[in-house]
Chains A and B, each alone.
Chain A
Amino acid sequence: MSGPVRCPGCQSPAAEAARFCSECGTPLTRPERVSDSRKIVTVLFIDLVGSTELAETLDPEALRLTMDRYYSACTAAITERGGVVEKFIGDAVMAVFGAFVSNRDDAFRAVQAACVIRDALVGLNVDLERGFGVRLDIHTGIATGEAVVVAAPGAGARVVGDVVHTAARLQSNAEMHQILVSDATARLVAGGVRMEAVAPLRLKGKRELVTAWRVVELLDGTLQDDLLPLIGRDAELGRLLATYARARQDRRCALVTVLGSVGIGKSRLVREFLAAPAAAGAAVLRGTCQAYGVGLTYRPVAEVVRSLPGGWAEAVSVLEAGHPDARQAIRALSVALELHEEDGCSVGVAEIAWAFRCLVEALGRRGPLIVVFEDLHWAEPTLLSLIGEVVGGTADSEVLVVCTARSETAGPVTAWAGELAASVTSQSVTSQSVVLELDPLTTAQSRVLVALLAEQGEVTAQSAPAATAVRSADRTDEALERIVQECDGNPLFAELLLESPFGDGDVRAEGVPTTVRVLLAAWLDRLPATDREVLERAACVGGTFTLGDVRALAADSPSLTDSVLEDSVHRLDHSRAVHRSGAADGYRFTRMLARDTLYEMTSKARRATWHTLLADRAGERAGDSCADLLDGEPAHHLESACRLLNEVHPGDPRLPALTARAARALVATGYRALHRRDLPAAVSLLERGRALVPAGDQEHRTLAIRISDAYAGLGRWDRARQAVDEGERRNGGDPWTRRTCAILRQALALRSGDRSGLPDNAAPDVGPEPRDDLSWCRLHQLTAFRGFADGRIGAAESAMREALVRARRLGDTYEEDRVLASVCELTQWSPTPLGEGIALCDELTARFGTDRSLLIPILLTRARLLALGGRLDDAREGVRQARGYADDLQLTLGSVAAEQVAGLVESLAGAHARAALHYATAAARLGGLGQLTTAATLAVYAAREQFHSGDTAACTASLGALAAVPLERRAQLVLLALRARLSAERAAEDEAVATVEEAVAMLAHTDDPCLTGDVWFEVAQVLEIVGRPEAARRAALSALTNFTAKGAGLPAAGVRSWLAVPRGRA
């Protein structure tokens, strides 16, 4: 829209420099800058039904008169509620609420305007039908959503966004007299409007069905039932009650000003106070300041007077009964209430203030009186001084004035409350002024509140709240806990985040819900322009930021000089929008939802530019060698820049280079996370990076390996398999990648015990190409896993050492570390002598240095070897250390492994009951992670320890409960030996001997010396029981040979002392 400046109210042209409309006196808003900010606006479309017939029926002059009445009814209803008529299209009216400045109730006021217009037509139609025999009928559509508002100076607003089309389409779908509102609008007005669902609409130009609601009627806003108890405001309520009690006792007017951010519970505190028994019997008068509309200054005063049970008449009679100058006071008040035109001699503001004080005084002498002024941040200075006059001057009556105001926008009110406190105190020692600042609820309080909110009704339908549907994989409890964390201690936000006024379960878009964003946008739009510019940049940095970050992003705005910027941040710190945190010039957003809202409402193109700048900046700093501290930061910024730029300028020439950078950064950060064993972060980063790496890139092979490793580490076998498939899909043209993927699938099948999805002929009989080190490295690892599962530990160790050679040739530290750790772990069971194993442990401890996640398996291996060598205390210390590391780093598998080694150490120490407990715990935890094969092995070990502790019954029960999974070789052997012992104890000699023979036959398949030793020793004891001492002795000697070869001194000593006991008649 261009051309002459027009009044937003009556649309008459206005002079270039005019500040008010010369026709109707409406202030002419002149936005200071052309803004491309994203806003949440509510758009209202009203159109006539059958206007063609109307034009045919009516004489043009009569038609013009009719239409003028209709338009002015519309314009008045809209502008009085803060809306802007954007344009008239034919007979249709399009209006926008919240185009320049957002209000929390924009949507409600749009609905209100629509209802007022509909009602106004009833009166208009009576005249029209009488005069011309015609009537006007309208239908209306209202939608709320994000839009870009282009504001050229003086030329009104141009609103660009889908919301405009939605509103127009809703209007054309509305039946006669219907007001249809979009789902977003419905959510915003839910408390104030009764609505009914209509069938989802198929709107022209929309792919999805659109949920819409039909407005039935406006609800009485004062009917607010507080179903939940007030949480966390006991102290404030106590002070309110105490101040009121003092006011009554002293018969002096007192003032309480309640300050706090939007939604923090100011009005609720006041309601709770008014409902308290102590306040019962008091007359309560109330007025609310408005951000819009006409007759602003004294409107709250008028509301207070009219809220007397007898209204104006009662005010008059009270004044006449109790005041000498009643007539003058009545006249002044009637002017303030606009009951009376000023006649010649004008009534000044001082006169009105005096009159109001007279009324309050008179009422306060009749009985206790509480006057409530809400939303004082909208108050004109005149009203503030009027309240000051009442509080300071009212004498000999029981009056409490309670004011509420928002702290973020209440600069003048805060100052006023402070001054008033001072002046009141100086005027009269007994009057008092109290300021109550409401802080956010603590997390514990929020938790109580959210739990109560989730269970509001006595009886509730069991459909899932919207909050749960966001990510349906979550448990409802987790969804609730997320709300506790996200609501910033603000009860209203908690309620809005939880609320699902109608839509069951349909997925809520990620991000801050519109209902909350509207509240925060209303605050943002009232910030000084500089502060907003600063905050937009800070929000792009993240939840925490430094002055330096913001300064780096301020280069595109010459007005944001260093000093302006610092002043602004100090101002924001002072108003508690941000607070100091961390580094010297570090700050943090006090409300994360405000940060998120700011971020979402900043132009995407600007965000993309800023993110790129931040990445460059972080990259430069990383060049200064503090890369670890900044880990992930450039990746996040590059990724965001990429996504945003792709959304607003998909063809931007910078995009390919930016995408490649983002992919590299994400992948590199992901590899570092994997190295740290931060598996969930690694998976997320690597998958995001993979999405940006072009198809056919060699990186996909490495990504497939590492993503599947990370998922395997998390026990998510299905996702591990998907990662392999995905790698092959994205780089399937490469034979080496296909080879590696085939090997990975085999390894996953082996480790998870799930062979589904494996092609029958997938065995990698044909080796990879000789130069394909990565495939070879993985193939050797696979061979090692197979050998280990089969009990051929020596072979497994050799294969692992071959893998090591390949890893070293690749120069791939990730593979090398992984393989080295495996070699080391294998020395626990392989024929490699104990001393060599311990030496390797020591070497790796030095290599991995301070990397505790890599150290855990090494420490545990060392502990096991030490225990076998008889150094039990050193072993226990190693387990303790490893367990501590695992707990610190929250590595589940690490702590399970520690549990398992603890079992071994205690078993070697002869504390079998304790050992059984360790093994059983480890088995249960592994089972929970889906590693059923290993879990079953540990369950067998636990049963063996129960037997050795003398609890045969528990042992039998444990064996009965064994999961039905194929057992590893080691487990089969231990189980056979154990069964043989049980049979022997039961004197089932034949069975015992048969089982022993089976076990001994199976020993040929394993080269694990300690396992072999253990089984031979059990065999010896069984043979002894069944009365075959010579065979028993030979078996024990075999055990001894095996233990000695490994260097396992402790079990060897056990066998020796058993042999030394003279038994039978040898």
Chain B
Amino acid sequence: MSDPPWRRPTAAWTPGVPAFGATTSTRAPEEFRASLVDDVSPEWSWGGATGAGVRVCVVDSGVDGGHPLVGRLDRSVTVVEGSDGTMTVVDCPAADLAGHGTACAGVIRSVAPEASVSSVRVLTDGKTGSGAALIAGLSWAIDEGFDVINLSLATTQSKLSAALHDLVDRAYFRRSALVVSAHNRPVNSYPWSFSSVISVASHDEADPLTYYYNPAPPVEFHARGVRVPVAWPGGGTIRSTGNSFAAPHIAGICALVLSKHPWLTPFQLKTVLFLSASNVAGRIGGAHDAPL
């Protein structure tokens, strides 16, 4: 009982949808101690920001560029497997057969309306895909130098772990902020569990800008992920649940922050996210911390 949350043995479950006991509207967030930097507040972080000038990439099932909630895509590419098994990235129409990537892009756009959004299709088989395609697509996005990369997917294949680890560290040093959703189930999985990414699970509240720092990692943040209204290919919206939709909320917030403070490094960005989280920022209550 005397250990702080981050020193406790890792819980048997992964924090995730409320099913996993994440911060929910019926349970108060856990108390923890924090060292604060008074200057940083939600207002400082993203007040008045639109995401303009920030390039976000959705690495997913493709994005329907014709959807009114997504709008024009900057670029749309897909991973293609050659006959010899090599993966290449080629331009493709802005379409999405599975609906998952469109949903994520719509969430990002709803938070950061003026950010540029691009899509890399790596889930080539509906909502699943191969590890090779993921690595190829993610490498491309990092090499292209996107400011924020949203990854609402995970793998349980430990053979992919080393390659993914190298990639996400590469993103970290090249200043691409990788926002990754935690796995929905309590299984060993990647790359959300690596410390150089910004990992996100769900809470069940309805406000898109409310997110919490999780004092008992590995997952670092909880954002809206339950019955989220998301864009559906072909137009319209449906409600969906999953950590998949929590990550793009944080990706959108990252775009907002970076559009206001473009020279933040990924480690600075994570600190800003921490200080502006709903369960951290409220402690300051200074005059500069006016409600948005």
Contacts and interface: CB of A to CB of B under 8 A. Distances in A.
Co-complex (A, B): yes
A457 B160 CA distance: 13
A961 B1 CA distance: 6
B266 interface: no
B64 to A, nearest CB: 9
B244 A458 contact: no
Interface stretch (A193-201, A266-274, A291-299, A529-537): A193-201
Given A475-B20, A505-B240, A462 B233 contact: no
B262 interface: no
Contacts of B183: 462
A504 B236 contact: no
Contacts of B123: 457, 459, 461
B238 A506 contact: yes
Contact of A459 (B21, B128, B182, B184): B128
A200 B2 CA distance: 53
B97 interface: yes
A460 B133 CA distance: 12
A209 interface: yes
Interface string B217-248: 00000000011001011111011111111010
Given A460-B127, A473-B18, A455 B103 contact: no
Given A198-B234, A199-B232, A456-B128, A475 B19 contact: yes
A476 B17 contact: yes
B155 A458 contact: yes
Contacts of B77: none
A463 interface: yes
A461 B240 contact: no
B155 A462 contact: no
A957 B1 CA distance: 9
B234 A196 contact: yes
Interface in B196-234: 226-227, 230, 232-234
Contacts of B129: 457-459
A88 interface: no
Interface in A448-503: 454-464, 468-469, 472-480, 501-503
A418 to B, nearest CB: 44
Interface residues of A, number: 40
A504 B18 contact: no
Contact of A460 (B2, B128, B233, B247): B128
Given A458-B131, A459-B130, A718-B26, A504 B103 contact: yes
A464 B17 contact: yes
Given A197-B234, A200-B238, A462-B181, A476 B99 contact: no
Nearest to A466: B241
B152 interface: yes
Nearest to B128: A457
A506 B243 CA distance: 15
Given A199-B236, A457-B128, A459-B134, A464 B241 contact: yes
Nearest to A960: B2
A468 B243 CA distance: 13
A783 interface: no
A211 to B, nearest CB: 7
Nearest to A471: B19
Contacts of B156: 455
B70 interface: no
A454 B185 contact: yes
B2 A455 contact: no
A12 B226 CA distance: 57
Nearest to B243: A462
Contact of B127 (A463, A478, A957, A958): A463
Contacts of A503: 238
A contacts with B: majority SS:
loop
Contacts of A474: 19
A196 B61 CA distance: 13
Contact of B232 (A197, A475, A478, A960): A197
Contact of A457 (B99, B125, B187, B247): B125
Contact of B242 (A456, A501, A504): A504
Contacts of B181: 462
A503 B242 CA distance: 13
Contacts of A478: 19
A501 B242 CA distance: 16
B147 interface: no
B98 interface: yes
B35 interface: no
Interface residues of B, number: 59
A480 B187 CA distance: 13
B18 A458 contact: no
B186 interface: yes
B19 A502 contact: no
B15 to A, nearest CB: 11
A203 to B, nearest CB: 13
Contact of A196 (B100, B233, B243): B233
A715 B181 CA distance: 33
B83 interface: no
Interface in A922-964: 957-958, 960-961
Nearest to B97: A196
Given A457-B127, A457-B129, A718-B26, A211 B238 contact: yes
Interface in B1-37: 1-2, 13, 16-21, 26
Contacts of B256: none
A457 B155 CA distance: 8
A456 B100 CA distance: 17
Contacts of A196: 97, 233-234
Contacts of B26: 718
B157 interface: yes
A501 B13 CA distance: 26
Interface in A188-240: 196-200, 209, 211
Nearest to B159: A458
Contacts of B61: 461
A459 B155 contact: yes
Interface string B236-268: 101111111101000000000000000000000
B135 to A, nearest CB: 9
Interface string B184-195: 111100000000
Contacts of A960: 2
B239 A459 contact: no
A464 B183 CA distance: 10
Interface string A167-179: 0000000000000
B141 interface: no
B99 A502 contact: yes
B185 A476 contact: yes
Contacts of B98: 461, 502
Nearest to A456: B128
Contact of B152 (A458, A462, A479): A462
B122 A472 contact: no
Contacts of A464: 17, 184, 240-242
B244 A462 contact: yes
Contact of A476 (B122, B184, B240): B184
Nearest to B14: A476
B154 to A, nearest CB: 6
Contacts of A506: 238-240
A200 B227 CA distance: 17
19 contacts: A199-B232, A200-B232, A457-B123, A457-B128, A458-B128, A458-B160, A459-B155, A460-B153, A460-B154, A461-B61, A461-B242, A462-B153, A462-B184, A472-B241, A477-B186, A478-B19, A505-B227, A506-B239, A957-B2
Given A460-B128, A504-B238, 14 more contacts: A456-B128, A458-B129, A458-B157, A459-B128, A459-B129, A459-B130, A463-B100, A475-B13, A475-B20, A477-B186, A478-B19, A501-B126, A718-B26, A961-B1
Interface of B: 1-2, 13, 16-21, 26, 60-61, 97-100, 103, 122-123, 125-131, 133-134, 152-157, 160, 181-187, 226-227, 230, 232-236, 238-245, 247
9 A-B pairs with least C-beta separation: A457-B128, A199-B235, A463-B242, A504-B240, A505-B241, A961-B1, A461-B127, A199-B234, A464-B242
